[in-house]
Structure 1
Amino acid sequence: MQRLLLGASVAVLTAAALPASAQTQTASQTASVDDVIVTAQRRSESSQKVAVALTVVSGETLDDRNIQTVNDLENTVPSLEVDSQLGGSQPQFRIRGVGLTDYAANNTSTVGIYVDEVAYPYGVMTQGLLYDIARIEVLRGPQGTLYGRNTTGGAVSVITNAPTDHVAAGLNLSYGSYDAAKMEAYVSGPVVDTLTARLSVAAESGGAWQYNRDTGESLGDKDTKAARLRLTWRPSAQTDVDLNLHYSRDESDGRGLRLITTPFTAGGGRVYPIDTDHRITGWGISPYFAQLIGASPNAKPFRDNEGKGVSLRLNQDLNWATLTAIASYETFDRNEFNDWDATASNEAGTFFFNDIDTSSQEVRLASPAGGRVQWLAGVYHANESVDGGFYSDFSEAKSLAFWMSTTYGQKVETTGVFGNVDYRLTDRLTLVGGLRYEDETRELNNFKTEVLAPTPSVRATTSKSQEMGEWTGKLGVEYTLSDDILTYANVSRGVKSGGFTTYNSGLPDQLEPFKFEELIAYETGLKSSFFQRKLQFNAAAFYYDYRDQQLQGILYTRTGRVGRMINVPKSHIQGAEIEAVWRPLPNLTVTQALAYKYGEYDEFFFVNSAATEAARDKVTGEYNTIVYSDRAGERLPFPKWDYKGSIAYDWRMGDWGVEAQTNYAFRDEKFSTSANSIIDSFWLVNAGLTVRPMDGNYALGVYVNNLTDDYSEESRNRFISASTGSPNPPRTWGVRLSYRY
């Protein structure tokens, strides 16, 4: 913390010491914080008038901070963590400690992810979305009375740039460390009088920052492509129709893991020491497994994922209300090879193959803006299917020595009816109420775990079903102390559907469905502006009563351990956040965000991993004693503290404008239940410098990510024997060019 405060002080003092000519501004420039218009409550309004905990990240901020994937959002948004489980391509979202950790593809996210109002229910579908973005709105707490899907953690709403009514074009190019290159481009404008269009494309290549400890071969090259076409048709002043067609392809290398704990003895007796260089990794693939998954016999971890989708949105002004209707279809094909033991030994090679199809329809009616009563009513329906599974290579694992397959088909049908009312009782006091009913049927069909070789056998087969019919809602009160100060308090109930564990299985207990989780949230907050709106200060405090929390747990057998999704009967989370934006000068902007959260199990009797591991037979490696204990009072496994901030200063030097900015983030330590170890806290500091001609339409920039070259991990795991961590990249740098027409 001291070095961050020192850095911030130096930046501010340096700005103050600049010559007067650098700080001279035109009369039209002011030092007030910009007003941000959002649609978090399904109507356009200032973010400071939205009485919920909300963070908005603009498209410009995404560019300035080099935020390229949804994972990078955690370094900007308070109380948000986004980790890719075990180095794979499947992000796991957690807001205020509420989030699902699961490496399988069939269970939906606890945090709702939306792109242009279309839900992306499965985490693996959310990669490759962040190009040509207008803004991202992150809401904390249960959502359901305004959104199509019901969530317990919150919502991340991505809004892409819309077609323009004038001709516009843009190009962003960047090149950096390890031959990393990226291109983004768009062209937008009118096609005919009533039709506008916007075509956006993006591509990435290179960036292989990891290397094989045995061969020196590089790992980590990106190979992604994406395109989006938006068409907006306005046949009349009362009607607009938006068509969104999009495509993405990811053929990148996978993320390599790093050996992090006691020396690992692989098949064949080779002993691997703990890795000391965090760029080191390793991998291997057996001839049989390569043939099984259709890969090269020298394959390294890879992805071959493809997403396609289309959505159609109608907005119709009916005078007495606005009708919004949205229909969408999304498909995602996942083919991904990961090496989870991070060595040339074939102890834990895994290949995922999934075909995900989702279709949804949403219809809403919303009252006209400005009335004393603001209301919204809607209905949502979705059908989802997830087919596929994964292959596992345990051919050199102790006590296993075989190849396995897990396959399944899953069908989900969801219908939700929701409504929300804001009633302005007086000019200062507003009452809020919302209600939702959700009905869901979830089926797991033809689940099968089998040994493929050397001796084929079926370990488990089953078909399961699960139903949920639940009411959720919200009650709140808002009070405006002045034009610049809004206070609020609310209580809300959210639920997140249950599901099925689809791991390699041979235990009946592992195949039982896990239940839906319920969260009752109590929250109070403040939104305010001071000093002629030069300082914007927001704060929120919350308490969560958590029932049947979904958790990635473990089961032990005599010869090993297996994963299973479980429910914690009762737990709680409490915390607070503050966010501030300060513009003491028209050309100086400082942002700060600090969040604290702490949670405990209140009722939880489960396996004690530490005691069970300690009782393991040191000669045979078998678990002769499986220890259970009362886990009530133990801390929930998420970071207590996170701190994010930025400093940006711009000035004029002759005919050029210059902007220097730095952004930084701190994430506290957290406990990894799957690895039974602590992931250390870490700092991330980034910096950039951009210059542009005052009368030109292009800009040149340089940037550095992880300026201090600190080591950090996003997740840990122990799969069979090897204990591994998924490291974040070291220090990288780059140059970029942008052009606007």
Structure 2
Amino acid sequence: MKHLKCALLGTSLVAMAVAGQTQAQTITTPAEPQPTLATPVNPAAQSTNTTLTPAQAADDTSTDIVVTANKREQRLNDVGITVAVVSGDALQRQQINSLADLANSTPSLSFTNSANGTPVYTLRGVGFYEVSLGAYPTVSTYVDEAPLAFPVLSSHSAYDLERVEILKGPQGTLFGQNATGGAINYIAAKPTSTLQAGGNVSYGRFNEVIGEAYISGPISSNLQARLSGRVERADGWQVSNSRPNDRNGKVENYMGRLLVDFDPSDRIRFKLNVNGWKDNSETQAPQYIALLPQAPAFLNPALAASPFSPERPRAADWTPGIPRRSNYLGQASLRSEFDVTDSIMLTSLTSYVYYKQRQGDEGDGLPISTLDLANDDGRIRSFNQELRLSNDPSSVFRWVVGGNYERSKVNQRVDLSFRSASANGLYGSFGYPFFSLSYSNDQKFRNYAGFANAEYDIGRLTIKAGGRYTNSRTDASECGFDESGSPINTGPLFYDVLFQGALGRYAGQCYPINNTPNTYNGIPPGGSGRFTDTLKQDNFSWRVGLDYKPVRDVLLYANVAKGYKAGSYPTSSASLFTQYLPVVQESVLAYEAGFKATLLDRTLQFNAAGFYYDYNNKQLRSKLVDPNFGILDTLQNIPKSDVKGFEIEMSIRPTRGFVINNTFTYLDASIKRFSGINAAGVAANFAGADVPYTPRYQFGSNFDYDFPVSSSLKGFVGTSLNFRSKAVATIGGDINPPTATPQNKTIFGIVSYTLVDLRAGIAAPDDRWRVSVWGKNVLNEYYWNNVVAAFDTIGRYAGKPATYGVSVGFRY
């Protein structure tokens, strides 16, 4: 099998010598000049432009990929930044059904699983592994430009899409702080001017059934609507190591979206998007791969006797009843456009998101409980308003000016269970074998910003400049407490043992100790109680650049940008106030230059970009040594780090119906200055260490061939290959904790892997119907994307094994 994978990779590398590019980069000819604001682009027509099948891409000579990376519609080849585009057709063809699938199909984008299922993106080495509900990301996400301010809100956005735009590099000027790595914009398929309907149903391994359908059309002469929905269900794919008949990882998701476009006059347009989802799935269990006891002398016998998990994709274990999820989201956004004059448009974008979480998360990958999140509950309410003025996009001088306001509230409470942890035995010797605790974090966020961006054409040269001022405030209130009512649990341990009765008897108060020199919420140094604090910040993001078009189908560009990510308070099980202290905002100065070229009579698209990111105060989920409980979680700033690399993207159609897309990415992301304790609990000087979750080499190859079978039937075949080199799950991940077992492997390493997908089928010539068979990870590669230390244990999160199935799609 190893030789087969090498052969497949070698074949793709040879193909790359003559071809390649990103999966969605179709080869087409120039679009017509952009319409003025008084004649907006027809959304239905744009949907057609960006959902071409490979055969259509090979044959069509009248359309271009259109993107909104600069908050206006442009040809992709006219946008002077790096943008990866995955079309709605590619999402369906390649069975991209999850955020992990999207990352695997996108160069330089990595997806990291977490215990509570919060998605974590790393783009070009820029990421923030922090799974608290109230933690802003470094790669921000949007649905039709309406922000999903916190990562968990984007869990189920990829359905009935026109395309996905992935903007690489700092996007602070137009998309705000918290986009230091980039931005992901999900573009929903739009209402149509004629009645249309369609759907797709697939059945696969683990009894996976995915059904998706839509209906779209006019309600009146100036009112159009589109209603779509999706259902996902599957049996559990993980197999318990201790209970062979027990399964985990079932899928049960429901999604729906209603879009309404209303044009009451030639100058006024309204676009309403109401959507939501319900997730009743089971959270993933980790594989127990290493032992790291916090109190070795008091190691629980059951834990000492527990074997490590087999290194197979499906192998795992969990405490019965813990992995579960009952979460839902509702979002409404209204886009209003008013043509103030024939050349100036006012745009208002208003959105509100409500999210409720009730779930349980397996922490240690064992049937016993050394660390389980028995309850991980929370709520997010987020309001966003943007107003902007922009002029005619066909003008020589193009500008946009506007402002944003965000107000969010995030509440999270976690109940921990650790009855079998070594700390239980340690304090049991004092008569307090504590077994559970709870902690909470209530945060309020307020952000406002003003921004401006301008472009000016001087012949074939375009000068670009933009800036954004952001002012933000975060109020946090955190508590660790015990509601068990037991006289021997965590709260009584603090009050009876650590404070020796000086604070009286424990009755449910917040017990963490103020070990700082400051007073918080009236709690003096040495006292115990609730931690409250306010973080106020402001910053100025900017971008300047040049675009040069020596000929129509060649673009050269260079940009320099400064971006920021807001500071953050952790949500963690703390015994000391120092664990609650926030990290300050991080900043990045980014340099990028590249080109986009359509060559060889428009049969070859060749793009390349090189970049360098200089980072200050990068935020990191790390550890500290607690005098009472050993190694516990905290947040830290890394003083200096940098990322340098390049991307090559090519696409070719050697014959009619045959499209080859290849990509290659090189990343060198390293820490320049940081001494501390990493997430594995190792204390060291980590200068020169790799940035986590950043493989040095990434290669992607996509082949699609459509061919006629008869006058009424066509066939299609395709394959995708994605290779990622090794990485680490924490800074200094190549160093094992000295007290960990075993020591004969790199515990926090993420090995290199190659994923191969196959697909084939038949369809009507006009794609009115389509039947396909498909396989994902057909070589059953064993791989993982995260390794996490959890008190006494270390676990990894494995990718899914080989899956396969059949899909039937139709539209009329």
Q: How does the TM-score come out when normalised to structure 2?
A: 0.83
Q: Equivalent of 1:45, from 74, 77, 102?
A: 74
Report how far residue 209 of structure 1 moved.
1.3
Q: 1:629 to 1:149 in 2, by over 3 A?
A: closer
1:737 aligned to 2:808?
yes
Determine if contact 1:194/1:234 at 8 Å carries over to the other structure.
Answer: yes
Deviation per residue, 1:287-318 (Å, 9 max, x gap): xxxxxxxxxxx514111110001111111222
Question: Which residue of 2 is the match for residue 312 of structure 1?
Answer: 334
Report how far residue 445 of structure 1 moved.
2.1
Question: What's the secondary structure of 2:175's corresponding residue?
Answer: coil
Deviation per residue, 1:141-172 (Å, 9 max, x gap): 11122225552110001000111111000111
Moved more, 346-355 or 1-10: 1-10
Q: Equivalent of 1:404, from 433, 437, 441?
A: 437
Mapped partners of 1:727, 1:269: distance in 2: 22
Question: Which residue of 2 is the match for residue 443 of structure 1?
Answer: 475
Report how far residue 67 of structure 1 moved.
0.5
1:642 aligned to 2:674?
no
Report how far residue 608 of structure 1 moved.
6.6
Determine if contact 2:274/2:331 at 8 Å carries over to the other structure.
Answer: yes
Question: Which residue of 1 is the match for residue 227 of structure 2?
Answer: 199
Q: Equivalent of 1:160, from 173, 188, 207?
A: 188
Deviation per residue, 1:674-733 (Å, 9 max, x gap): 875211111111111121133672111110010111101011111011111111111010
Question: What's the secondary structure of 2:411's corresponding residue?
Answer: strand
Report how far residue 451 of structure 1 moved.
7.0
Question: What's the secondary structure of 1:459's corresponding residue?
Answer: coil
Mapped partners of 1:27, 1:471: distance in 2: 44
Mapped partners of 2:617, 2:177: distance in 1: 19
Report how far residue 478 of structure 1 moved.
1.1
Q: 1:135 to 1:591 in 2, by over 3 A?
A: same
Determine if contact 1:149/1:380 at 8 Å carries over to the other structure.
Answer: no
1:661 aligned to 2:684?
no
Deviation per residue, 1:605-653 (Å, 9 max, x gap): 213778x76xxxxxxxxxxxxxx43322222222111111200011111
Q: 1:702 to 1:207 in 2, by over 3 A?
A: farther
Determine if contact 1:258/1:278 at 8 Å carries over to the other structure.
Answer: no
Question: What's the secondary structure of 2:130's corresponding residue?
Answer: coil
Report how far residue 448 of structure 1 moved.
3.5
Structure 2 gap segments, 5+ residues each: 17-53, 294-298, 425-433, 492-509, 513-529, 737-747
1:327 aligned to 2:350?
yes
Q: Equivalent of 2:313, from 278, 294, 314?
A: 278
Question: What's the secondary structure of 1:235's corresponding residue?
Answer: coil
Mapped partners of 1:712, 1:385: distance in 2: 37
Which structure has more relative contact order (CA 8 Å, sep 6+)? It is: 2
Mapped partners of 1:440, 1:598: distance in 2: 32
Question: Which residue of 2 is the match for residue 246 of structure 1?
Answer: 275
Determine if contact 1:33/1:583 at 8 Å carries over to the other structure.
Answer: no
Mapped partners of 1:118, 1:477: distance in 2: 28
Mapped partners of 1:631, 1:696: distance in 2: 55
Q: 1:229 to 1:199 in 2, by over 3 A?
A: same
Mapped partners of 2:787, 2:357: distance in 1: 22
Question: What's the secondary structure of 2:8's corresponding residue?
Answer: helix
Q: Report the residue type matching 1:211 in the other structure.
A: V
Q: Equivalent of 1:693, from 764, 770, 793?
A: 764
Report how far residue 320 of structure 1 moved.
2.7
Q: 1:348 to 1:110 in 2, by over 3 A?
A: same
Mapped partners of 1:722, 1:443: distance in 2: 33
Question: Which residue of 1 is the match for residue 515 of structure 2?
Answer: none
Q: Report the residue type matching 2:614 in the other structure.
A: D
Q: Equivalent of 2:452, from 415, 419, 429?
A: 419
Question: Which residue of 2 is the match for residue 258 of structure 1?
Answer: 287
Q: Report the residue type matching 1:106 in the other structure.
A: G
Deviation per residue, 1:212-239 (Å, 9 max, x gap): 1222211111100011001110112222
Mapped partners of 2:150, 2:247: distance in 1: 30
Mapped partners of 1:644, 1:53: distance in 2: 16
Report how far residue 428 of structure 1 moved.
1.0
Question: Which residue of 1 is the match for residue 47 of structure 2?
Answer: none
Q: 1:563 to 1:368 in 2, by over 3 A?
A: same
Q: Report the residue type matching 1:310 in the other structure.
A: A
Q: Equivalent of 2:87, from 52, 58, 64?
A: 58
Q: Report the residue type matching 1:317 in the other structure.
A: D
Q: Report the residue type matching 1:455 in the other structure.
A: N
Mapped partners of 2:456, 2:534: distance in 1: 41
Q: Report the residue type matching 2:714 in the other structure.
A: G
Determine if contact 1:449/1:505 at 8 Å carries over to the other structure.
Answer: no
Question: Which residue of 1 is the match for residue 372 of structure 2?
Answer: 349
Determine if contact 1:59/1:133 at 8 Å carries over to the other structure.
Answer: yes
Structure whose residues are more often strand by fraction: 1
Report how far residue 11 of structure 1 moved.
9.7
Report how far residue 600 of structure 1 moved.
2.0
Q: How does the TM-score come out when normalised to structure 1?
A: 0.91
Mapped partners of 2:794, 2:802: distance in 1: 25
Question: What's the secondary structure of 1:268's corresponding residue?
Answer: helix
1:671 aligned to 2:699?
no
Q: 1:26 to 1:57 in 2, by over 3 A?
A: closer
1:483 aligned to 2:505?
no
Question: Which residue of 2 is the match for residue 287 of structure 1?
Answer: none
Q: Report the residue type matching 1:663 in the other structure.
A: S
Question: Which residue of 2 is the match for residue 135 of structure 1?
Answer: 163
- Output the aligned Cα RMSD: 2.3
Mapped partners of 2:282, 2:678: distance in 1: 36
Q: Report the residue type matching 1:635 in the other structure.
A: D
Determine if contact 1:307/1:333 at 8 Å carries over to the other structure.
Answer: yes
Mapped partners of 1:4, 1:31: distance in 2: 30
Matched residue pairs, number? Answer: 699
Question: What's the secondary structure of 1:736's corresponding residue?
Answer: strand
Report how far residue 323 of structure 1 moved.
1.1
Q: What is the aligned-residue identity percentage?
A: 28
Question: Which residue of 1 is the match for residue 409 of structure 2?
Answer: 385
Q: 1:695 to 1:550 in 2, by over 3 A?
A: closer
Q: Report the residue type matching 2:673 in the other structure.
A: E
Question: What's the secondary structure of 1:533's corresponding residue?
Answer: coil
Question: Which residue of 2 is the match for residue 16 of structure 1?
Answer: none
Q: Report the residue type matching 1:500 in the other structure.
A: Y
